[in-house]
Amino acid sequence: MKKLLVLFSLLVSFTSCKSELLEKDTAKFKDGDIIFHTSKSSQSKMLQMATSSDLTHVGIIFYKGGKPFVIEAVQPVTITPLQTFINRGVNGEYKVMRPDVDLTESQKQTMMSYGKKQLGKNYDKKFQWGDDKIYCSELVWKMYKEAGIELCETKMFSDFNLSNPKVKEAVKSRFNGDFNPSEVVVAPSDIAESSILDTVFDNF
């Protein structure tokens, strides 16, 4: 019985420390910060193989009523509490980056206005550049572009590793023969490699 009480006490203490750590870390974050993690979704492994990066999902942090949230393109585009976003990543690991020049209030408002217009849109499993559906890194890139900031150069599908069997299988099942290797695309890893972003937190 005594051992059980000690174990329970340690568990409560560990949970409390994790909560305090998150609160301490997130106090550093600002509206417009970009958060990445390794998604637990079924397509995450395929994305890692195609991009040679563990960063497979991305969103933008903003505060409402003093609490942090993330606007992200999942199914559908939605607003998620920051803690929920973090918990959905593998091992609770994540990375946060921000532009090396402070965003103006006008830029932040423009970004969020564009982002909110995307709420409810379906997730784009074909990773196409149109506006009827949208995927995670496309949403982040376009929110910043709307505010006059180009986070990174876009790429084409052909720039990624399409030779892996898992990637080939995904292309075949998702595109049904209608695959365009010249399609404009941007991956979470491309944004993370941006020359205008600095890392403000990383526990990978």
Judge whether 47 and 166 are in contact, CB under 8 Å.
Answer: no
Distances (CA, A) of 200 to 26, 34, 124, 148: 10, 10, 29, 22
Could you give the 3-state DSSP secondary structure of residue 117? helix
Strands 155-156 and 95-99 turn out to be unpaired
Neighbours of 116 (CB within 10 A): 13
Q: Which domains occur in the chain, in start order? A: 29-202 (3.90.1720.10)
Q: What is the pLDDT of residues 140-170, one digit of tens each?
A: 999 999 999 999 999 999 999 999 998 999 9
Count CB neighbours of 132 within 10 A.
8
Helix axes 165-175, 44-51, angle to 10 degrees: 120
Write the pLDDT tens digit of every residue in 43-82: 999 999 999 999 999 999 999 999 999 999 999 999 999 9
Q: Among 12-21, 104-113, 151-160, 187-196, which stretch is predicted with the lowest mean pLDDT? A: 12-21
